[in-house]
Chains A and B, each alone.
Chain A
Amino acid sequence: MTHDRPTFEFPTRSRTGEVPRMLPVRKVADEAQGMRTLFFSYPLDAAPGQFVMLWLPGVDQKPISVSYQDGALFGITVAEVGPFTRRLLQLKSGDLVGVTGPYGTPFTLDRKRPRAILVGGGCGAAPLGLLAERAAAEGIAVDLIIGAQTERALLFRERFARRRRITTHLATDDGSVGHAGFATDVLARLLDGTDPSDTRVYTCGPEAMMRTVAQLCAARDVPGQVLMERYMKCGFGVCGQCCIDGSGKRVCVEGPALSFGEILAHAEFGKYSRDASGHPVRKGQRGCETR
Chain B
Amino acid sequence: MHTLATLSQDYHGSVFSNPTVLAAGILGVSASSLANVIRNGAGAVTTKSVGPAARAGHPNPVVIATDGYLLNAVGLSNPGAEASVEELAAAVRGCSAPVIASVFGSTAQEFADVVRVLDAAKPAFFEANISCPNVGSEFGRPFGTDSAAAAKVVEEIKGETATPLIVKLSPNVPDLVEIAKAVCAAGADMLCAINTVGPGMLIDLAARRPVLANRSGGLSGPAIKPIAVRCVYDLYRAVDVPIIGTGGISTGKDAAEMIMAGASLVGIGSAVYYRGIDVFAKVARELDAFMQEHGYAGIGQLRGCAHDA
* Residues of A contacting B74 in the complex (Cβ-Cβ under 8 angstroms): 233, 239
B30:A278 contact, CB within 8 angstroms: yes
> Contacts A8-B274, A20-B204; is A239 near B54 (CB within 8 Å)?
no
Q: List 28 A-B contacts (CB under 8 A).
A: A9-B275, A11-B276, A13-B65, A18-B64, A18-B273, A22-B206, A55-B211, A57-B207, A57-B209, A233-B57, A236-B63, A236-B65, A236-B273, A238-B63, A238-B70, A239-B29, A239-B63, A241-B29, A241-B77, A245-B32, A247-B36, A249-B36, A250-B277, A274-B29, A275-B56, A277-B77, A278-B77, A278-B78
Partner-contacting stretch, out of A31-39, A58-66, A85-93, A255-263: A58-66
* Residues of A contacting B222 in the complex (Cβ-Cβ under 8 angstroms): 6
Whether a CB of chain B sits under 8 angstroms from the CB of A218 is no
* Residues of B contacting A276 in the complex (Cβ-Cβ under 8 angstroms): 56-57, 77
Whether a CB of chain A sits under 8 angstroms from the CB of B101 is no
A233:B63 contact, CB within 8 angstroms: yes
Whether a CB of chain A sits under 8 angstroms from the CB of B79 is yes
Whether a CB of chain B sits under 8 angstroms from the CB of A12 is yes
* Residues of A contacting B250 in the complex (Cβ-Cβ under 8 angstroms): 6, 8
Min distance, Cβ B263 to any Cβ of chain A, angstroms: 16
Whether a CB of chain B sits under 8 angstroms from the CB of A72 is no
Closest A residue to B277 by CB, please name it.
A237
Whether a CB of chain A sits under 8 angstroms from the CB of B213 is yes
Please measure, in the bound complex, the distance between the C-alpha atom of A19 and the C-alpha atom of B205, giving whole angstroms: 12
B30, B79, B213: most-surrounded residue (chain A CB, <10 A): B30
Min distance, Cβ A94 to any Cβ of chain B, angstroms: 13
B65:A96 contact, CB within 8 angstroms: no
* Residues of B contacting A246 in the complex (Cβ-Cβ under 8 angstroms): 32
Please measure, in the bound complex, the distance between the C-alpha atom of A239 and the C-alpha atom of B270, giving whole angstroms: 10
Q: Could you list which residues of chain A lie within 8 angstroms of chain B, going by C-beta atoms?
A: 1, 4, 6, 8-13, 17-20, 22, 53, 55, 57-62, 96, 98, 233-234, 236-241, 243-250, 253, 274-279
B66:A17 contact, CB within 8 angstroms: yes
B272:A238 contact, CB within 8 angstroms: yes
Whether a CB of chain A sits under 8 angstroms from the CB of B131 is no
- Of A18, A59, A60, A277, which is within 8 A of B63 by CB? A18
Whether a CB of chain A sits under 8 angstroms from the CB of B193 is no
* Residues of A contacting B34 in the complex (Cβ-Cβ under 8 angstroms): 248
A58:B65 contact, CB within 8 angstroms: no
* Residues of A contacting B272 in the complex (Cβ-Cβ under 8 angstroms): 237-238
Whether a CB of chain A sits under 8 angstroms from the CB of B116 is no
* Residues of B contacting A275 in the complex (Cβ-Cβ under 8 angstroms): 56
Whether a CB of chain A sits under 8 angstroms from the CB of B307 is no
State the 6 A-B residue pairs at the shortest beta-carbon distance, nearest first: A248-B36, A248-B32, A22-B206, A61-B60, A279-B79, A240-B27
- Of A10, A233, A247, A279, which is within 8 A of B60 by CB? A233
Whether a CB of chain A sits under 8 angstroms from the CB of B232 is no
* 16 further A-B pairs in the complex, CB-CB below 8 A; given A60-B213, A248-B34, A278-B29: A1-B256, A17-B65, A18-B63, A18-B273, A19-B64, A20-B61, A53-B60, A55-B207, A60-B59, A236-B63, A236-B65, A238-B270, A243-B36, A276-B57, A277-B57, A277-B80
Number of interface residues of B (CB under 8 A): 55
Q: Could you list which residues of chain B lie within 8 angstroms of chain A, going by C-beta atoms?
A: 25-37, 48, 54-57, 59-67, 70, 74, 77-80, 83, 202, 204, 206-207, 209, 211, 213, 222, 250-251, 253, 256-257, 269-270, 272-277
A22:B32 contact, CB within 8 angstroms: no
Min distance, Cβ A246 to any Cβ of chain B, angstroms: 6
Please measure, in the bound complex, the distance between the C-alpha atom of A12 and the C-alpha atom of B272, giving whole angstroms: 9
B251:A240 contact, CB within 8 angstroms: no
Closest B residue to A55 by CB, please name it.
B61
B30:A239 contact, CB within 8 angstroms: no
* Residues of B contacting A247 in the complex (Cβ-Cβ under 8 angstroms): 32, 36
A22:B65 contact, CB within 8 angstroms: no
B56:A237 contact, CB within 8 angstroms: no
A8, A96, A98: most-surrounded residue (chain B CB, <10 A): A8
Closest A residue to B77 by CB, please name it.
A277
* Residues of B contacting A60 in the complex (Cβ-Cβ under 8 angstroms): 59-60, 213
> Contacts A57-B207, A244-B32; is A239 near B83 (CB within 8 Å)?
no
Min distance, Cβ B259 to any Cβ of chain A, angstroms: 12
Please measure, in the bound complex, the distance between the C-alpha atom of A98 and the C-alpha atom of B80, giving whole angstroms: 32
* Residues of B contacting A19 in the complex (Cβ-Cβ under 8 angstroms): 64-66, 202, 204, 211
* Residues of A contacting B256 in the complex (Cβ-Cβ under 8 angstroms): 1
Please measure, in the bound complex, the distance between the C-alpha atom of A250 and the C-alpha atom of B32, giving whole angstroms: 10
A13, A58, A234, A244: most-surrounded residue (chain B CB, <10 A): A234
A240:B207 contact, CB within 8 angstroms: no
Min distance, Cβ A96 to any Cβ of chain B, angstroms: 6
Please measure, in the bound complex, the distance between the C-alpha atom of A58 and the C-alpha atom of B276, giving whole angstroms: 31
Please measure, in the bound complex, the distance between the C-alpha atom of A99 and the C-alpha atom of B79, giving whole angstroms: 29
B56:A234 contact, CB within 8 angstroms: no
